[in-house]
Amino acid sequence: MYMTFLKHFSFVAVSFVVFCVVTSNVMAFDDKELVFGIDDSRMRIISGIFTVAGTTIETISGKETKNIIEDCYVAFDYSNGFYRFDRNGQGKYLVTPDAVFHRWKNKPGSNVADITQHPRDYGPHTNINPFEIRSLGFFSCNAPYYDFKYDKYRLFLTKNAKVLDVKDGVLAYLALQNANPKDRSGAEYPIYKFWVDKTHGYTTTQIQVDSFVNSELTWKQIDGVYVPVAFRQKYHSLPADQIVEANWVLNWQAVNKTIPSEIFSYKDLIDKNDVEGVLYAGNADRTGTPVVLEHISSGDSTVIQKSMTPTNLSKIVMALGLLLIAISLGKKIYDWRSRKSE
């Protein structure tokens, strides 16, 4: 059981992307040339907007423990350092070149959006779980998949990949392992098996990690770039008899297009049904009191002025009411005097 756990842990820590297309003569191709070429095809996904719909279901010992209806919105611009992930009404996560913003789920009965600003290296809250689209299929949905950045896979591809077995056919097949077969605890790293569609941009259609993870992906070419449009994964942990199954559909609104800048503004994290938003600092003051950085209005995303707070607004309404009464009274006095003079 311990060894199986270590294998599962090493999958989470050392997951990687491998693509390959070869001839029947294994020695006739250049591993590194192909790896870098297919890495380049993944790196061609630079910016975009897509939604995720589907389910992620967990069962333990045959009993369903979670059934998540996925409803995600993702926008990214890797070249300029922007990334946004909204999930299931649980919150929103925004990365900019200068900071990270986390919009929390509204408190019960509240229509005020609480947004926290953090330093650039801050990790998101676990109930949001964003992922990098370049890495889809190479992390387990059982894990907090925001940890799985494509940079980690690139490092493995260029430095640590070890070819164990290669077969060629309609789809190329490749089995790999970490070049260092044992970690510090002595556990063997899992073996990864990949099926790659040579005729459609070297896209990975299936990935197996030992016997406990199997992923399947469907790809589509949009504006000259192959992107995933469907994702299915089954994760099976034997010690706990835990099974996690993901079945997602990805609908792309834009691929490698200029993304409107307002999408990456923390003010856009406010919903139309919110009365206002409050931007807080990531750290409280010395007394433990949250530090408010800004009040933001909904709709036009402009800073709320003090004159528009509810208290002052009610005073304005009362004053206008008194003014209307005074005008009406004045008109009645004027009419009375006019009739008397006749």
85-115 tens-digit pLDDT: 998 877 899 999 999 999 988 888 788 989 9
- Co-location of 331 and 225 in the same domain: no
Q: How confident is the model at residue 9 (pLDDT cuts 50, 70, 90)?
A: very low
Choose among 130, 136, 139, 149: nearest CA to 74.
130
Count how many residues are written for the chain: 342
The residue that leads in pLDDT, 9 or 256, is 256
CA 283, chain centre distance (Å) = 24
Element (H, E) at 165: strand 161-167
> For 30-89, how does the pLDDT look when each residue is reduced to its tens digit (9 = 90+)?
455 556 766 777 889 999 999 999 999 999 998 989 898 999 999 999 999 999 999 887
- Co-location of 255 and 169 in the same domain: yes
Cα gap 244→66, rounded to integer Å: 9
Selection from 172-176, 193-197, 201-205, 213-217 with the highest mean pLDDT? 213-217
Cα gap 121→107, rounded to integer Å: 26
Cα gap 192→325, rounded to integer Å: 80
In a domain, 153, yes or no: yes
The residue that leads in pLDDT, 249 or 158, is 249
Question: Does residue 163 have a pLDDT over 50?
Answer: yes
Q: Rounded to two decimals, what is the model's pTM?
A: 0.75
Question: Does residue 340 have a pLDDT over 60?
Answer: no
- Co-location of 229 and 328 in the same domain: no
Low-confidence winner among 44-58, 192-206, 269-283 (lowest mean pLDDT): 192-206
- Co-location of 74 and 146 in the same domain: yes
- Co-location of 219 and 326 in the same domain: no
In a domain, 68, yes or no: yes
Choose among 242, 232, 247: nearest CA to 8.
242
Of 261, 291, 325, which residue sits at a domain end?
261
Q: How confident is the model at residue 255 (pLDDT cuts 50, 70, 90)?
A: very high
- Co-location of 164 and 237 in the same domain: yes
Q: How confident is the model at residue 159 (pLDDT cuts 50, 70, 90)?
A: confident
Domain that residue 319 falls in: 314-341
Question: Does residue 1 have a pLDDT over 70?
Answer: no
In a domain, 123, yes or no: no
The residue that leads in pLDDT, 2 or 24, is 2
Total domain count, the chain: 2
Cβ neighbour number for residue 131 with a 10 Å cutoff: 21
% of residues, the chain, pLDDT over 70 = 70
- Co-location of 337 and 203 in the same domain: no
- The CATH code of the domain that includes 232 is 2.50.20
Strand partners, 104: 91
In a domain, 6, yes or no: yes
Q: How confident is the model at residue 328 (pLDDT cuts 50, 70, 90)?
A: low
Q: Record the tokens describing residue 13, joined without a space.
A: 């820590």
Cα gap 189→11, rounded to integer Å: 8
- Co-location of 326 and 216 in the same domain: no
Burial class, 284, CB count within 10 angstroms (exposed 0-12 / middle 13-18 / buried 19+): exposed
- Co-location of 204 and 327 in the same domain: no
In a domain, 337, yes or no: yes
Over residues 153-170, mean pLDDT: 73
Q: How confident is the model at residue 123 (pLDDT cuts 50, 70, 90)?
A: confident
- Co-location of 85 and 226 in the same domain: yes
In a domain, 160, yes or no: yes
In a domain, 34, yes or no: yes
> For 286-324, how does the pLDDT look when each residue is reduced to its tens digit (9 = 90+)?
888 889 999 998 764 443 333 233 334 444 445 555 666
The residue that leads in pLDDT, 249 or 174, is 249
In a domain, 97, yes or no: no
